[in-house]
Structure 1
């Protein structure tokens, strides 16, 4: 045959085929299949139309297709192209992670032998054309992790041999096409993480060849599972997380005899745990968590001999855990946050594969199985908040892999087994609020990987061992309310990561070791109610992160060190009930204290002018040498005598006053209505949260349009300079029209932004949360008075001409400060608080660029934190910062804040806004991901940053990538984020954490929602 036949164009093939005998057409097809995607070069000007059009129709910023040269004899050596070994025709195109952009390359459907297309993790956009059905020989189509949108083409069902259809993590919308009922060979259908609505259709039951059905993370309408799906007898994986499912699991699901993985977590399913699951002989994993299943556990678990993981946490289950469930070879058993009662059966200790046992927040009682851990490689053991008693089994760490031991809020007794002192893998120990006693084994103090050691509220005795220096990773030491004696060992000063030492209410004695001054990360030092003596060590002034210093009720003496006044973030200082003498350092006036207590010491001299006011009287009681500065401060005998006369006179005045008040009630009422500011605002209610040196009327006198320093959706913010020289910020919220009521009201609570912010900030005391001094309600307008932050918001400064003030060390400090503030809201508040509007404009900067979280108008107190995310009736947050799952499920928890904080990290690293015209519809998150994949980190980092910090910036960027993970469960907690940022700043290897431990971050645009099928 003439060689030119291999160079035919499509139009030539059509013309010739019309003139030939049918017996010759098959031969022509062979030639044409070869010529469609390549040609043998005889003339350099000739081009193959399919390959040229494919490459020209795409954006290829990384040069992934650079070796696609249509002058080659064959494309079979091109990147991503696979050919049949005999016919040399193209049968597979795999362009995974190629950073390609543009519309779907429909030209590929011209390749007649093409059986597989994988365009996973690219930026293909627009809609998927109906002509996709022209790929007639296609068996596998993987378009996951792209930007495709619009409805799913109904014509996909016209591809007769399609077996794998994977469209995960796009933006497809609408319903699942009815034509999908026509698939006859489909084995995998993956539509996870799109925007599909309607319901999960019953017609999918026609796909009898289906082995994997994955529809998780779609905002389907609330509906029940269709019983017809029980006809999918070849099904092995059923993944329906976050699908708005209601009701119970149909009885027909007992026919799914080949099912290995059943996941209906994070829905609204109810009823008892269905006994139908006991017919699933091959089931390996069952995920029922975060639903509303109730009742006791049914019998029949012994039938599930292959079961390895069972998670029914966050439901409403009750009753004991069945013995037969515990006798299974489970690798993970998670029954937390239910209403389980009864004993933990001894048989659970027989499980040879059990590595995770969580039954916290139930009503279980009795002793733990004595052999627990002897046969099981336990890694996580959490039985907190139950009614357990007895001792800790000595065999818990026999396999040497135990990482977390969480026993808080029970009635355990006895001592800590010596064997746990050899458990070097432990990284988290919480034994608080039990009845433990005796000495803590010396080796237990020195566990090298423990970052939280919580022994508080027990009856432990003995001393803190000098071996504590071996606990090099320790960040929180909480041993308050025990009976510890002896001195605080000087070796404690070598634990560089310590953030908190809480040892109050013990019997510790001796001096505070001077090595405490080495702990430059220490934020909280609480030693009240002990028997400590000597002076405060002079190195205390080097603790620049110290937020709380509480040494009350000890026997400390000497003078209060001057350098306490140099602690930049100290806001809680209590040195009361000691024997301090001498003068009060004037430097204390430099502090912005929420709490100051120097009472009942031997102080003398003048009180610093800032504190020589009546509102600070209680801060200085019991110091005879301080009597002269605040009238009535002393309480000597003469004062008592004079006080008696004062009481008598007061009584007479009160009696006369009753008569007088009746006469002036009318006048008083008129006066309250008349007493207005220059702007005509009536003061109805005033509430302060700190001791103040100004009145509400002085605040109102400072409100003027010339003093506006900012504005937002809830009102304007003014700078108020008071008569005493103090500067405050005042937020004015005025009554909205009825059309605005909805935006002005916190839809989750029915309270307006004023009430929410007052309730939230009024009870928060943290160095990285903006301080609310006071509030006042003036009827039509309401006012919130805050500490003034001279450098404004991070967003305004970062995205302005003054951004050069923010070098990288400053930006990293801001990130860490903001993270600590959010960590306090999530982990330090009971119940936790979700901010819901974390953004750079809500992070304020003080004069030293220290960061404070502000604007709590839409904050949510998560009263049912153990039930997971709470549904809201409307979206709260700011464009560019809203977590993807929140945007369409309206469910809020701490993970939503963590995603928003990840966006803030990206802002700090890139210097770019979260929404920018350059990004199109993608936003900063996708821009960063694409940039890292296409051009590398150098093109993502803000060019104004010093390249000497590139390694540190890279680590922080990794942390941001974890925070913006598409799957909320893969985002680290804020406590872990703080830890990682601290390690990044210290230059140590960044530890990357997820829900289930520490792992490397996902590939930049790789959606961790991807589940193996």
Structure 2
């Protein structure tokens, strides 16, 4: 069953509202529609809009082709206007960079004039600043009047450089801030933690450095935070547990060290947590079992070097559990068979031993299982139906002690292990052949894969 949180969690995308055709409106709406057509723009605001368009786009001669840009009959693509209490039309939304919205010319730079549009609520720049280097410039508020901007999205702008400006804290109405896939560097400004209205923060895929500010816990209305694919260091701040409404937490692909903070247990609405590809280690917090809404836990590539925690089996809503390449030892907990909603389990390239729990064969929703490159032993407990359902999404290779019972009738399936021999007569396990290579090389490949665990240890220590 899909969580009601998930659609909002994974994508906080706003749909562009296009002008409605007058033919589809009721009589009351038609009257309102006609009134809008008779309204004009504030002259200063219109001139500001022309300056922005001259800076950004050369798709057409905007002043000549659309002298009244807010009029529905001649409105610009990527532009939305709304009436104000002054009987004038005001710009409320601007989209740039991808068609049908205006595309950006090579000389386009960030237009700070957008903050002079007094009714602007949403701005999108996607794949826009790609040639001329530019920075985010936010002027100081004038006459103590702050910008009403609620959403600022700057995505895939490789020529957008410089710092995340501390002045961004002056945008007191900001709810969604997306600065993803740009070339921003430097530290995350502490001042950002004063934007109490913020519900979604995405600074992923930049070159940010330094530690995550402890003050970030002040953003108590956050529902999603993504700081992945940067070069952040230090520890995960304990204050992150103050974000009681958080549903998405992505800190993957940084250089964070230390352990998972105990305060994480307070994030009872958390659905998605990604901490992979860092330098995290130490035991999991005992209170993690309180995260009963957690559906995605992704923590590959960390130097954990500890037994797999059995209490993860109590997170019964888990759909994906990824703990690969992290030096886990001991057995696969039997409690993992309680994760009946699990669709993906990735435990490859660890130091796991013992037998595969029989209960894993009862995970009816699983479609991806990777237990390769461990030291597992014994007869594989899955039936032919399980093997055929997963197909190539099942990988058991690199476990020298694993074998298939010949009576299972699955000798022809290429799943990376051999058929169990008759140990009473001294025969050995006969590995299945790899296409194009003699079978004796399969054991050698397995051995080298296993020895790769030593390389993993050297990587982190």
Provide TM-score, normalisation by structure 2.
Answer: 0.73
Question: In structure 1, which of residues 526, 532, 539 is the aligned counterpart of residue 433 of structure 2?
Answer: 526
TM-fit CA distance, 1:259 = 0.8
CA contact (8 A) 1:89 1:113 kept: no
TM-superposed CA distance for 1:444, in Å, is 8.1
Distance 1:464 1:125, change over 3 A: farther
* 1:135 match: 69
Q: Which has the higher contact order (CA 8 A, sep 6+)?
A: 2
Matched, 1:412 2:319: no
1:283 aligned partner: 222
Q: What is the CA–CA distance in structure 1 between the aligned matches of 2:248 and 2:211, rounded to whole Å?
A: 19
Task: Kindly indicate whether the alpha-carbon contact (under 8 Å) linking 1:421 and 1:444 is maintained by their aligned counterparts in 2.
Answer: no
3-state SS, counterpart of residue 378 of structure 2: strand
2:38 aligned with 1:112, yes or no? yes
Once the two structures are superposed, what CA deviation does each residue of 1:655-701 show, in whole Å capped at 9, x if it has no partner? Answer: xxxxxxxxxxxxxxxxxxxxxxxxxxxxxxxxxxxxxxxxxxxxxxx
Structure 1: 4+ residue segments shifted above 6 A: none
8 Å contact from structure 1 (residues 290, 315) kept in 2: yes
Matches within 5 A, 1:603-752: none
Cα distance in 1, alignment partners of residues 164 and 327 from structure 2: 37
Aligned CA distance change for structure 1 residues 213 and 205 (closer, same or farther; 3 Å): farther
Q: Per the alignment, in what secondary structure is the counterpart of residue 217 of structure 2?
A: helix
Equivalent residues of 1:280, 1:304 under 8 A apart: yes
Task: Name the counterpart of 1:155.
Answer: none
Give the whole-Å Cα distance in 2 for the aligned partners of 1:335 and 1:364. Answer: 12
SS of residue in 1 equivalent to 2:336: coil
Q: Distance in 1 between matches of 2:218 and 2:339?
A: 34
Retained in 2: the 8 A contact 1:181–1:204?
Answer: no
8 Å Cα contact 1:160/1:184 also seen in 2: no
Which one is further off, 179-188 or 222-231? 179-188
C-alpha displacement of 1:418: 1.7
Q: How much has 1:454 moved relative to structure 2?
A: 2.1
Aligned residues: 384
Q: How does 1:406-555 map to 2 (within 5 A)?
A: 406-443=346-383, 446-450=386-390, 451-461=392-402, 463-464=404-405, 467=408, 477-479=415-417, 484-485=420-421, 507-508=428-429, 526=433, 548-552=436-440
Uncovered stretches (5+) of structure 2, i.e. residues with no partner: 1-20, 42-56, 80-87, 443-451, 453-458
CA distance in 2, matches of 1:280, 1:127: 42
Distance in 1 separating the partners of 2:76 and 2:201: 23
Higher Cα radius of gyration: 1
Asked if 1:167 is matched to 2:167, the reply is: no
Secondary structure of the residue aligned to 2:359 is helix
Q: Which residue of 2 aligns with 1:85?
A: 29
CA contact (8 A) 1:438 1:461 kept: yes
Q: Offset of 1:176 from its aligned partner? A: 2.9
Contact 2:168 2:192 in 1 (8 A): yes
Query: SS state of the match for residue 213, structure 1?
Result: strand
What do residues 186-230 of structure 1 show as CA deviations (whole Å, max 9, x unaligned)? Answer: 111112222364111123867621111111111334200111111
Contact 2:231 2:255 in 1 (8 A): yes
Confirm or deny: 8 A CA contact 2:376 2:402 kept in the other structure. no
C-alpha distance in 2 between matches for 1:142 and 1:394 = 61
Give the whole-Å Cα distance in 1 for the aligned partners of 2:75 and 2:274: 36
CA displacement 1:454-489 (0-9 Å, x = unmatched):
223335355336556699xx8x51226xx83369xx
Q: SS where residue 168 of structure 2 aligns?
A: helix
Aligned with 2:137 (options 195, 201, 214): 201
1:113 deviation in Å? Answer: 4.9
Query: Following the alignment from structure 2 to structure 1, what is the Cα–Cα distance between the partners of residues 360 and 141?
Result: 53
Counterpart of 1:294 (choices 209, 228, 233) is 233
Contact 1:429–1:452 (8 Å) recurs in 2:
yes
Q: Is the 8 A contact 2:115 2:147 kept in 1?
A: no
TM-aligned CA deviation for residue 133 of structure 1: 5.8
C-alpha contact (below 8 Å) 1:288/1:313 kept by paired residues: yes
* 3-state SS of paired residue (1:262): strand
2:249 corresponds to which of 310, 316, 319: 310
User: Cα 1:82–1:274, aligned 2, differ >3 Å: closer, same or farther?
Assistant: farther
- Separation (CA, whole Å) in 1 of partners of 2:275 and 2:212: 13
* Distance verdict in 2 for CA 1:308–1:373, change over 3 Å: farther
In 2: Cα distance, 1:205 partner to 1:294 partner: 33
Shift of 1:256: 0.9
1:484–1:319 Cα change, 3 Å: farther
Q: Deviation of residue 264 (structure 1)?
A: 0.5
Q: For 1:939-978, list aligned pairs within 5 A.
A: none
CA-CA distance at 1:363 after TM superposition: 0.6
Structure 2 residue aligned with 1:497? none
Q: Is 1:144–1:168's contact at 8 Å kept on the other side of the alignment?
A: no
Q: Provide the rounded CA distance (Å) in 2 between the counterparts of 1:86 and 1:221.
A: 43
Out of 184, 188, 192, which is 1:245 matched to? 184
Give the drift of 1:394: 2.5
Match of 2:323 among 364, 369, 383: 383
Instruction: Name the structure 1 match of 2:4.
Output: none
Measure the CA separation in 2 of the matches of 1:141 and 1:211: 22
Query: SS of 2:38's equivalent?
Result: coil
CA 1:298–1:283 in 2, change beyond 3 Å: closer, same or farther?
A: same
Q: Does the C-alpha gap of structure 1 residues 83 and 292 become closer, same or farther in structure 2, counting only changes over 3 Å? A: farther
Query: 1:468 and 1:362, CA in 2 relative to 1: closer, same or farther beyond 3 A?
Result: farther
1:176 corresponds in structure 2 to: 110
What is the DSSP-based 3-state SS (H/G/I as helix, E as strand, rest coil) of the residue aligned with 1:363?
coil
The residue aligned with 2:448 is: none
Give the distance between the partners of 1:479 and 1:445, measured in 2 at CA.
Answer: 17
Distance of aligned partners of 1:393 and 1:445 in 2 relative to their CA distance in 1, 3 Å threshold: farther
Q: Does 1:263 align with 2:202?
A: yes
Question: What's 1:219 paired with?
Answer: 158
Q: How many Å apart are 1:358 and its aligned residue? A: 1.6
The answer to whether structure 1 residue 354 and structure 2 residue 294 are counterparts is yes
| Partner secondary structure for residue 179 of structure 1 | helix
Equivalent position of 1:338 in the other structure:
278
RMSD: 3.6
Rounded to whole Å, the distance in 1 between the matches of 2:39 and 2:167 is: 36
